[in-house]
Amino acid sequence: MDEGRIAEGKMRRLTGAAFGRTELAIYLVLSVLLAATALGALASAAKHLWDALAHWAVTTEAPRVLNELLVVLMAVEIMNTVRLSIRAHMLVIEPFLVVGLIASIRRILVITLEAATLTKEGQWTGPSASAVFRASMIELGLLGLLVLVLVFAITLLRRYAPVSTDR
């Protein structure tokens, strides 16, 4: 009977170790892909900015460059989340909230920059303009509410979360 328990325990350890190695391999591949994404988006943003400077079109290209730079920031934050998950061997919640906050702010900035571009170009005329404006304002309101909820959640998490010694 003891031999059966020993064999079962050994099998559980081996299975757990195999899953642990698989998880680590997936995290490593994910990290490489996220790094490639961040570097590609950074290079693309730099190229768009360089082209905009060369053609004196920084104002029209600013939304695109800002959008790509915020994608880079999100990718870096996700890489940080993966790194923390590898080190702690558990899912860490706060970095996901930070990524959500960055994504929400990114979308708010993109909407406002697109609206500013449309108003400068005089494209806010006609019946469809009021529908676009209404939809944009609803989305901005919901995103603003989401930002407040995420900031509140991060504040609560930092205030009441147990202190980790891994960092």
Q: Look at residues 145, 154, 141 and name the one whose alpha carbon lies nearest to residue 99.
A: 154
Cα–Cα distance for residue pair 49/51, rounded to 1 Å: 5
Query: Quick check: is 24 in a domain?
Result: yes
User: Shortest CA distance to 137 belongs to which of 154, 157, 112, 161?
Assistant: 112
Tell me the C-alpha distance between 28 and 82, whole Å.
9
Measured in residues, the chain has a length of 167
Q: Which two tokens stand for residue 111?
A: 């909407």
DSSP state of 55: T
User: Which runs of consecutive H residues, i.e. helices, occur in the chain?
Assistant: 2-54, 58-88, 94-120, 127-160
* Position 166 in a domain: no
- Quickly count: other Cβ atoms within 10 Å of residue 81's Cβ: 19
State the total domains in the chain. 1
Q: Is residue 37 part of a domain?
A: yes
Question: Does residue 64 lie in a domain region?
Answer: yes
pLDDT tens, 72-92?
988 888 888 888 877 777 777
Domain with 45 in it: 2-160
Does 26 reside within a domain? yes
Q: Which residue has the higher pLDDT, 6 or 140?
A: 140
The answer on pLDDT for 142 being more than 90 is: yes
pLDDT band for position 124 (50/70/90)? low
Say whether pLDDT at 146 is over 70: yes
165, part of any domain: no
Q: Is residue 138 part of a domain?
A: yes
Give Rg (Cα) of the chain: 23
pTM over 0.85: no
Is residue 109 domain-resident?
A: yes
